[in-house]
Structure 1
Amino acid sequence: MKKTKFLIAAAIIGVSSIVAIAADHIDAPAVTGGTNDITDFYAFQGQNTSNLVLVANVQGLLSPSSTANATFDENTLIEFNIDTNNDNVEDLVIQATPRNGIMYFFGPAAPLQTGLDSTILTNDAAGSVEITAYGQNAITATENGMQFFAGPRDDPFFFDSGQYNAIIDGMATSFNNPGNDSFAGTNVLSVVVEVPKSLVGGSGTINTWVESKRRQ
């Protein structure tokens, strides 16, 4: 079995029984704008209520012109971590890594090691999907009871940063309804996997978080 080691670069953490959302569009200068910079993590029940959907967004604040040239970094592994016994240690992982325009998925399966280092679970291939190009209809794939997508999407995160700054500066006391979406017109690169709940803990409560890790 070929083993490729990745080390953690960034992480967003969430807790999921039905829905979890975490967002982080503004990182430290050394990370912001990097190809492995995570902007959002979503975990929610699928339209098929027997399924769980996990979404990782990277490379935020992409303009339409820069989106057309944006690509997933082939030296980056995106890893969805699933804790089934509430000890805050991953019991299962679903991994996604790109190669030559294809996003490959592995798991859910027990990681070869927990913590900051990861090795691709080449013996637990789940499926793959062609990465959707900007402006193209979404390409999805279904394999082994799971569904996959990878490609650019409109940034779903809403935040009125102008009003936030006014509140911080003492010029306002509350947000407007509706506010101004500071992220309108910007895009992200999304990795989406829909997995049967029976493969990741059944009907019980799970903790889940996502990490991006660079090849070492």
Structure 2
Amino acid sequence: MKKTKILIATAILGIATFVAIAADHIDAPAVQGGTSDITDFYAFRGENTSNLVLVANVQGLLTPGNTAAASFDERVLLEFNIDTDGDNIEDLVIQATPRDGKMYFFGPTGPTSTGLNSTIVSTTTNAGVVDITNYGETAMIEEFAGMKFFAGPRDDPFFFDFNKYTEIIAGDATGFANPGDDTFAGSNVLSVVVEVPKSMIGGSGTINTWVESKRKQ
């Protein structure tokens, strides 16, 4: 049944073209306050040291009061890019896109094209789906073919004194205070998490990885 749902989703999503847009933690004018605003990206070794964990957070500064009403934008594709040969061009992608309360994942697989434009890689045999965890619910995690998936609200883990940073940029301060103010304390983000066996990524030595948000055109 889960496989059938994934195949149905690819039929719906695969024809869409997604185009990259600027994104950063609340300070990119093109996406500030928008549903495609990437707050942070994390990549680290899993508890199972044979796995790699990739985390993309979007829609920062969600207060507890409005987190319950927040949702992933079905027009936005999150794409984890993996460069295995050091040329800074993605050799593999893992795509995540929401639909009807679920997050669908495709990859790791070779992209249909590199750069700013993407389409859903609907032909890949590496795919998964997970129900999006609602605010206040126990995290729902699904596993497919050795990969694990999660999508839903989490506490923003990023520590940064954003107000002091803007003062420094404006020339009104010469440095950060110690310890400074945690601008993001008490706020939430929407997280997309995928844990993937290193054997599915291939390559050797160092890999480069980054994340993009792309809006449906």
TM-score range, shorter chain: 0.7 to 0.9
2:45–2:53 Cα contact (<8 Å) kept: yes
Between structures 1 and 2, the one with greater helix share:
2
For 1:105 and 1:176, the matched residues in 2 are separated by: 41
How many Å apart are 1:202 and its aligned residue? 5.1
How many Å apart are 1:65 and its aligned residue? 1.4
How many Å apart are 1:206 and its aligned residue? 0.4
After superposing the two structures, state which structure 1 stretch, 179-188 or 81-90, moved more: 179-188
For 1:207 and 1:6, the matched residues in 2 are separated by: 22
Which secondary structure does the structure 2 equivalent of 1:40 belong to? strand
TM-score between the two structures when normalised by the length of structure 1: 0.87
Residues 173 and 29 (structure 1 numbering): CA distance in 2 closer, same or farther, change over 3 Å? closer
Q: Which residue of 1 aligns with 2:15?
A: 3
Gap runs ≥5 in structure 2:
1-10
Between structures 1 and 2, the one with greater strand share:
1
How many Å apart are 1:169 and its aligned residue? 2.5
TM-score between the two structures when normalised by the length of structure 2: 0.87
- What is the root-mean-square deviation in Å for CA atoms of aligned residues? 1.7
- The aligned runs of 1:193-212 (5 Å cut-off) are 193-201=194-202, 203-212=204-213
Which secondary structure does the structure 2 equivalent of 1:65 belong to? helix
Moved beyond 3 Å, runs of 4+: 161-168, 172-175
Which secondary structure does the structure 2 equivalent of 1:149 belong to? strand
Q: Which residue of 2 aligns with 1:18?
A: none
| Total equivalences in the alignment | 202
Residues 114 and 174 (structure 1 numbering): CA distance in 2 closer, same or farther, change over 3 Å? closer
Q: CA deviation digits over 1:126-184, x for unaligned, max 9?
A: 111000000111111111110000000000000123554666524x655314x331111
Residues 139 and 163 (structure 1 numbering): CA distance in 2 closer, same or farther, change over 3 Å? same
2:22–2:28 Cα contact (<8 Å) kept: no
Letter of the 1:86 counterpart: G
1:128–1:148 Cα contact (<8 Å) kept: yes
2:155–2:187 Cα contact (<8 Å) kept: yes
How many Å apart are 1:9 and its aligned residue? 1.6
For 2:131 and 2:54, the matched residues in 1 are separated by: 18
Q: CA deviation digits over 1:5-60, x for unaligned, max 9?
A: 1111235xxxxxxxxxxxx3232333101101101000001111100000000000
Which secondary structure does the structure 2 equivalent of 1:123 belong to? coil
Q: Which residue of 2 aligns with 1:169?
A: 172
1:36–1:58 Cα contact (<8 Å) kept: yes
1:197–1:203 Cα contact (<8 Å) kept: no
Letter of the 1:152 counterpart: P
1:64–1:186 Cα contact (<8 Å) kept: yes
For 2:216 and 2:18, the matched residues in 1 are separated by: 4
Letter of the 1:127 counterpart: G
1:132–1:138 Cα contact (<8 Å) kept: yes
Which secondary structure does the structure 2 equivalent of 1:7 belong to? strand
Residues 173 and 99 (structure 1 numbering): CA distance in 2 closer, same or farther, change over 3 Å? closer
How many Å apart are 1:199 and its aligned residue? 1.0
Which secondary structure does the structure 1 equivalent of 2:157 belong to? coil
For 2:17 and 2:148, the matched residues in 1 are separated by: 26
